[in-house]
Structure formats: C-alpha cells, structure tokens
Amino acid sequence: MTSRNPVVMVYIRFLFYMQAVYNFSSFAIHIPGKFNTLADACSRLHEKDKLSLEYDLLPFNPKGGCVEDTLVRVAAEYRSRGWAESTKRLYRFQLKCYLSFCETMSIQPVPVSTDDFSLYIAYLAHYKKFRFCTIQNYLAVVKHLHKANGLKDPITDNWHIKHLLLGVKRDIGDAQVGATAVTPNMLLMIKKELNLCRLYDLSVYVACLIGFFGLLRPGNFLFKDKHNPILRIEQIGSIDDGFIITVHKTKTIQFREKQLNVVIPQITGHLLCPASALYRLLSLHQILGSMVRHLYCVKV
C-alpha cells in the first residue's frame, strides 16, 4: 500500500512496522460508498452539506452531543405528544386527586394493592359524589400510571375491582346528564350586556355566535392563552352568503388528517346574524391596526 499523501504514508509505514513485529497481514478491500457512508462523507468534505452529513453519522455528534442522548430526548418529546394538551391537563388534575388521597391514607400509589384501590373507588363514590362515568375517568389515570411504570394495571383481569365497580354502578346508576342548551334568548341577553363598540366585548359576542351557528365545541374556536390561538384571522374566508372558517384540529380531528369547513351564514335582518357580527369584528381589527393574527381579543 502506498499514498501520495505524506501524512497517510506515516500511518502506512507504522502499519507495516506493526505487521512485521506482530506477524499479521492487512489487506485493502473496496467498500461501495453507499455502504461506507462515514468514510465517503469524509472524502467529500469539499462538497456542499457533506460536513453536516458527517456530523450526523458520527456516534458522537459535535453539533448536539451524543446521538443516543439526542434520540432519547426526541423519543421523550414524541411520547409527551401522545395525548392532546386538554387530555394531559385532565390527567394531571385526576392524578393530583389520586396522589392526594394516597398521601392522606398513607398508602402506596404504585403499585397499588386491590384493597387500597378499593378504598379509592369508595372515596370517589361516597365522598366525592361523582357520577359513575366520572369515577371511570378518574380510575383511568391510575391505570396509565401503572402501565407507564411497567406494571400491570389494577383494573384489568381484577375480579374484585370489577365486582366493586359493578356494585357502585348499580347503586348510583349510570344516567348521563346533558349540558343545558344555549338558546337564541340567551344570546340576546348576552348581547344586551355587551358594548359591541369595544374589541373585547365584540370578541365575546362573535365567539358565542360562531359556537352557536357553527355547532362547535368551545375548544374548537376558543384558546387557553394568546400564544396558542385556535382560530386565526387567516382561517376565515368570505363566501357569497357569509363566511367560511377552516378548522384544522378538533376533538375528532387530532392528527390533521382532514379539515373542517364551517359556514357562518348571513341572516339578513336578524338580530343575531353571525356573519354581520364577524364582519364587524374583522373591520374593527382593521380600523385599530391590530398586528395580532388571532381573531379574538384576549384581554380588556
């Protein structure tokens, strides 16, 4: 073996010396670049993006530390997005209730014994006065807590717990109580209390009309804070008989697999015309020169 590069020749001579001392032979075999990716990237550092490719192939990435650590971090981030933010908020609240109960009763939360878990079910039914469907929701977080720690959940295949839940269901029933329906009279009462010349009041009024006429859940057109708006001005388009709102994410559309087009109709002469109210809000945004892109004003 030989090379025109003097630095490489130093290593070749050293290799020959080691062969003579330790009595072994070395051979050079060509490996196609598509299989020898790291060496191929090193030989093409003069080409664009090859240095970045080399970093990505190294076991230790100079740009971001150990590749394994990076993958662990990314995997954890993806895992944290397995549930919607609303679901995570609900689970945190339910978990707080469970851990508080365990602390008060001086019992071990994970793994929980059948007897201790029975006490928690009795607590939810007798002291919290929860409906049966709510009890089931509160127990779900305990199941997830066990599974997340590699443990068997305390409900599945547990005859004692299932029998206890059957008794709770028989005692308190499983009737579902729907929420009170919003009526046009309620909307008129809300409108009467608002000053529609103010951006905040008009935002509240338009939100009510969009939810009512668009048959939307509050989470589809409201938002928790100004940094995470659900409904933005660019999602609103004009049509002949009103407006159309494009919703990309709902409770039933969580992975952007499709979009929902909601028509906000023009009801000429009606006191609760949603298109007229929405047009007024958009015009007020324009008059005030608002730089924000979310539809509603979030503070007075």
**What string of pLDDT tens digits covers the 300 residues of the chain?**
677 787 888 888 878 778 888 888 877 777 776 667 667 666 666 665 655 555 555 555 555 556 777 788 888 888 888 888 888 889 999 999 999 999 999 999 999 999 999 999 999 999 999 999 999 999 999 999 999 888 998 998 899 999 999 999 999 998 877 778 899 999 999 999 999 988 889 988 999 999 999 988 887 777 655 555 567 788 889 898 999 998 887 778 878 788 889 999 999 999 999 999 999 988 888 876 655 566 765 543
| Two structure tokens written together for 38 | 């790291």
Residue 247 CA from chain centroid, whole number: 16
292 near 278, Cβ under 8 Å? no
What values do phi and psi take at 50, rounded to 5?
-70, -35
Domain boundaries, the chain: 6-75, 85-172, 184-288
Sign of the CA dihedral 15, 19, 22, 28? positive
206 near 173, Cβ under 8 Å? no
238 near 283, Cβ under 8 Å? no
Bridge pairing between strands 60-61 and 236-239: unpaired
Phi-psi region of 227 (alpha: psi -120 to 50; beta: other; left: phi over 0): alpha
Q: What is the pLDDT of residue 70?
A: 78
Specify the CATH number for 85-172; select among 3.40.50.720, 3.40.50.300, 3.40.50.10860, 1.10.150.130: 1.10.150.130
Instruction: Report the distance separating Cα 17 and Cα 27, nearest Å.
Output: 15
Block residue for tokens 């790291």: 38
List, in sequence order, every residue forming a beta bridge with 243; answer none if it has no partner: 238, 264
276 near 234, Cβ under 8 Å? no
Q: Which pTM was predicted?
A: 0.62
